[in-house]
Structure 1
Amino acid sequence: MSEHNSFLEKVKNNQYYNDMNLDLFVEEQLIISEKLYQNKTKIIIIEGEFWTSKQRKANSIHEISYRACFKPQLPYFFISNFTQKGNVVYDPFSGRGTTIIEAALNNRRIVANDINPLSKILTQPRIEIPRYSEINERIETIPYYKNLKSDIDLSMFYQEETLSEILSLKNYLIERYESGKEDHIDRWIRMVATNRLTGHSTNFFSVYTLPPNQAISPQKQKQLNENFNRYPVYKNTKNIILIKTQSLLRDIDNIKRRTLHSVAKEAVFLTEDARNTPQIADNSISLIVTSPPFLDVIDYARDNWLRCWFNNINTEEITKKITVTKSLEEWESFIYDTFIEFKRILKPDGMIAFEVGEIKKGKIKLEDNVISIAQKVGFNIEAVMINKQNFTKTANIWGVTNNLKGVNTNRIVILRK
């Protein structure tokens, strides 16, 4: 085995799994090998099933649906083993905020960035957590009006009275924001309502639809309703918001609440291109845990068109800002420029856990491309962790079949400055 075995020893002996009394990291349960990459560099490859249901249960505060998000256990592993309290953890493609929330729960300082403003809407309130009683009191003060009409046809998603409640809530939140009166309680209500707009169970505002982490087009929803003979029925939006609030808060005790509020005081939320973040100081970040935009797979803005509508966000403007790479060469160029920025902001000896997938039905393993780019930028390659996983029914809906096509694995390139 090569000299780069300190990371491997950390993996095999880390406190995370010792706490769980698991014997996952023993030789017969891992495939450990070395691969010769460019510049004749030998890199350790560690393959196994790392993020499974048998491991540490994630905090309930994470349970917000969002397209293409990894499990909290992934950032927890790196946060707990390679940072200390008070260190700064950064996610340049924050999404639903998994890395950021997990870092805050573990009393790390946080910097979140995502060019899509929905990311901040979904993440910030789960660090500035109000008490349930405050949310309950506030939601009772929101004026709900009957017979409000939407600027777009949403009848395929919502019953008429339900839509009036949604519009009342939308108008209230717009007024609070534009008047400068919006506070952490309003932001919490906005976050939960955004998450409850569409889904496949009773406790969503909409008729049955899939998946819960985005909205299908109105035409496809009409077809879905016709195919399954479904139609929108009245949903009590206030009750649904409170039910989801209780679910999100079930693991938040007073200690965790104080920790999150303390972190929130210095938290930074950006909506910048990850290649250019002048708000982040040189040599200030201890750890980056992230997953970059997929290669021409997901249209993040249009997938969230209904969430953008509710939050008064111009989808077309966001679409123009979000980088969607149409070729592997474009994707590599984007990653190269991003790594240049990472090298500027990382502390000496700072680490990156860069989670990528595979494309072309597994023929192209993107970690190979990432390693080549990282070497050009001047990062040290610690290892590659490959996590095999079984997909849920929701994943299979999107054509992701185990070991056949789609993004079948977490492939995490570990870099050090």
Structure 2
Amino acid sequence: MLNQLSIFDHMLPPSRALDLVAEIKNFADFGQATRCETVGGIPYFINEFWTAGQRQAHSLHEISYRACFKAQLPQFFIERLTKPGDLVLDPFMGRGTTLVQAALMNRRALGNDVNPLSQLLARPRLRPMSLQKVAAALASVDWTCGRIEREDLLAFYHPVTLRKLESLRIWLAERVPLTREPTDAVADWIRMVAINRLSGHSPGFFSGRSMPPNQAVSVKAQLKINEKLGVTPPERDVVAVILKKTQTLLKDGVPSGQADHCLSTGQAWSLTDIKDGQVDLTVTSPPFLDIVQYAADNWLRCWFAGINPEEVAIDMHKTEKAWTDMVRRVLVEQARVVRPGGHIAFEVGEVRGGKVLLERLVWQAAEGLPFEKLGVMVNDQEFTKTANCWGVENGAKGTNTNRIVLLRREF
């Protein structure tokens, strides 16, 4: 059995390596012995590194967003490869999982995403508001000023609910406009919560019964759902829904103090706000080829926030070469912003039933750049045989693994 140092000792300065030995004895801490294999010249480390008993993340993470990884993934690397006060970056921040976890662990957070919706989801949870402040702010909203501008949205909402949502949009536009950094942190929080209550499959959402909240269906699809169920959207108490979700998000407490953070909207290969050699650790996951339709998934959230999803320049990479070229541009920028000795954990999941192993394309994209290519960690779920890591079917499509390329910036 390998001990914990065997995978990380060459990734850390000697003092940190000794700390690691004292902190974690061996890979048995993760449920079973880690398998080490070399496939295609790439070293793989395979185990269930975060087990079922460890999957209860902090309540601040309970925000739905499609194609996001669990908080245990960044936590694993942050606690082993950084110390309090270090800078942790995610250039594809999505809902902000890496950043929130970094803040919870007393690290500084840097985030970027081409989708402006990401800032609206991540920023408020880096400076959480109390339930009392949220309730007081909601009491100041004029809930009678809203007018139904889009009749088609009645497929999702009761007319009274939709008018209240329009009233809330007016109130938010006055306090947290998209054109500048918000100064009203409470309104910023309320917008984040409201964005995440727009549609779902329970009374905890503003809508009638719809699909799970990480993917908004089309108006046409929602009308079919209503017809199939023989229902119309019921009236919802907008204030009560927001307060209930706020209470849920805050139930595990909040980071000590205001989290030091900087967020930007732009391409992951052009991080102009980040200085050279500033980042200690990057934990990220890029879009996977052409499998996720971000504009279509987020159209309802974009409506509420005042974002035109057609203007969000999210790349759709339909070929392996195009995707590899994008990753190369991202890694060139990472070579600039990550300090010597700093690390990158580049998660690529699985696509196309395991027929395309994206970690091999990342490995290729890193060739010739100033990184040590340390290997690929495969977090293999307990109900999936290790053979599935290489695309072997086990009675089901896909293999349910996280696949993380580990790189260290050369000294």
TM-score (structure 2 length as normaliser): 0.88
Instruction: Quickly say closer, same or farther: Cα 1:83–1:402, change in 2 above 3 A.
Output: farther
Task: Measure how far apart 1:379 and its partner are.
Answer: 1.7
Matched to 2:333, the amino acid is E
- Which consecutive residues of structure 2, in runs of 5 or more, have no partner in the other structure? 12-16, 384-392
Residues in 1 aligned to 2:225 and 2:88: alpha-carbon distance in whole angstroms: 42
The alignment partner of 2:85 has SS state of coil
User: How big is each residue's C-alpha offset from its partner over 1:30-52, in whole Å with a ceiling of 9 and x where there is no partner?
Assistant: 22223352xxxxx4311122233
Instruction: Quickly say closer, same or farther: Cα 1:378–1:147, change in 2 above 3 A.
Output: closer
What does residue 155 of structure 2 align with? 156
Instruction: Quickly say closer, same or farther: Cα 1:192–1:141, change in 2 above 3 A.
Output: same
Task: Measure how far apart 1:13 and its partner are.
Answer: 10
Q: Which range is displaced more, 365-374 or 402-411?
A: 402-411
Percent sequence identity over aligned pairs: 42
Q: Does 1:268 align with 2:262?
A: yes
What does residue 369 of structure 2 align with? 377
What does residue 129 of structure 1 align with? 128
Matched to 1:119, the amino acid is S
The alignment partner of 1:216 has SS state of coil
Give the 5 Å matches for 1:345-360.
345-360=337-352
Residues in 1 aligned to 2:217 and 2:142: alpha-carbon distance in whole angstroms: 29
Instruction: Quickly say closer, same or farther: Cα 1:167–1:182, change in 2 above 3 A.
Output: farther
The alignment partner of 1:376 has SS state of coil
Residues in 2 aligned to 1:55 and 1:226: alpha-carbon distance in whole angstroms: 41
Q: Does 1:142 align with 2:141?
A: yes
What does residue 238 of structure 2 align with? 237
Q: Which range is displaced more, 119-128 or 406-415?
A: 406-415
Matched to 2:125, the amino acid is R
The alignment partner of 1:153 has SS state of helix
What does residue 50 of structure 1 align with? 49
User: How big is each residue's C-alpha offset from its partner over 1:125-175, in whole Å with a ceiling of 9 and x where there is no partner?
Assistant: 011111111111111111101772123510110011011111110111012
Q: Does 1:413 align with 2:405?
A: yes
Task: Measure how far apart 1:17 and its partner are.
Answer: 12
Task: Measure how far apart 1:76 and its partner are.
Answer: 0.4
Q: Does 1:344 align with 2:329?
A: no
Could you tell me whether the CA contact under 8 Å between 2:30 and 2:50 is conserved in 1?
A: no
Instruction: Quickly say closer, same or farther: Cα 1:407–1:172, change in 2 above 3 A.
Output: farther
- The partner residue of 1:334 within 326, 336, 342 is 326
User: How big is each residue's C-alpha offset from its partner over 1:90-135, in whole Å with a ceiling of 9 and x where there is no partner?
Assistant: 0000001000000011111111000101110011001111111111
Give aligned pairs, total: 392
Q: Does 1:30 align with 2:34?
A: yes
Residues in 2 aligned to 1:54 and 1:15: alpha-carbon distance in whole angstroms: 22
What does residue 40 of structure 1 align with? none
Task: Measure how far apart 1:390 and its partner are.
Answer: 7.3
Give the 5 Å matches for 1:196-215.
196-215=197-216
The alignment partner of 1:364 has SS state of coil
Instruction: Quickly say closer, same or farther: Cα 1:115–1:60, change in 2 above 3 A.
Output: same
What does residue 397 of structure 1 align with? none
User: How big is each residue's C-alpha offset from its partner over 1:351-409, in whole Å with a ceiling of 9 and x where there is no partner?
Assistant: 00000023332122111111111123232111211112379xxxxxxxxx987435732
What does residue 306 of structure 2 align with? 312
Residues in 1 aligned to 2:23 and 2:162: alpha-carbon distance in whole angstroms: 50
Could you tell me whether the CA contact under 8 Å between 1:16 and 1:77 is conserved in 2?
A: no
Residues in 2 aligned to 1:109 and 1:71: alpha-carbon distance in whole angstroms: 19
The alignment partner of 1:154 has SS state of helix
The alignment partner of 1:296 has SS state of coil
Residues in 2 aligned to 1:69 and 1:130: alpha-carbon distance in whole angstroms: 24
Residues in 2 aligned to 1:380 and 1:20: alpha-carbon distance in whole angstroms: 25
Matched to 1:295, the amino acid is L
Task: Measure how far apart 1:9 and its partner are.
Answer: 6.1
Residues in 1 aligned to 2:382 and 2:216: alpha-carbon distance in whole angstroms: 24
Residues in 2 aligned to 1:139 and 1:182: alpha-carbon distance in whole angstroms: 17
Instruction: Quickly say closer, same or farther: Cα 1:14–1:22, change in 2 above 3 A.
Output: farther
Q: Does 1:188 align with 2:189?
A: yes
Could you tell me whether the CA contact under 8 Å between 2:30 and 2:48 is conserved in 1?
A: no
Instruction: Quickly say closer, same or farther: Cα 1:251–1:330, change in 2 above 3 A.
Output: same
Q: Does 1:176 align with 2:175?
A: yes
Could you tell me whether the CA contact under 8 Å between 2:199 and 2:210 is conserved in 1?
A: yes
Matched to 1:96, the amino acid is R
Could you tell me whether the CA contact under 8 Å between 1:16 and 1:80 is conserved in 2?
A: no
Indicate the RMSD between aligned Cα atoms, in angstroms: 2.9
Residues in 2 aligned to 1:107 and 1:313: alpha-carbon distance in whole angstroms: 32
Q: Does 1:222 align with 2:223?
A: yes
- Which consecutive residues of structure 1, in runs of 5 or more, have no partner in the other structure? 38-42, 392-400
Task: Measure how far apart 1:289 and its partner are.
Answer: 0.2
Instruction: Quickly say closer, same or farther: Cα 1:19–1:141, change in 2 above 3 A.
Output: farther
Q: Which range is displaced more, 159-168 or 7-16?
A: 7-16
Residues in 2 aligned to 1:96 and 1:111: alpha-carbon distance in whole angstroms: 13
What does residue 314 of structure 2 align with? 322
The alignment partner of 1:342 has SS state of helix
The alignment partner of 2:345 has SS state of strand
Residues in 2 aligned to 1:271 and 1:16: alpha-carbon distance in whole angstroms: 39
Task: Measure how far apart 1:301 and its partner are.
Answer: 2.0
What does residue 14 of structure 2 align with? none
- The partner residue of 2:295 within 284, 292, 301 is 301
Instruction: Quickly say closer, same or farther: Cα 1:16–1:387, change in 2 above 3 A.
Output: farther
Task: Measure how far apart 1:14 and its partner are.
Answer: 8.9
Residues in 2 aligned to 1:414 and 1:212: alpha-carbon distance in whole angstroms: 32
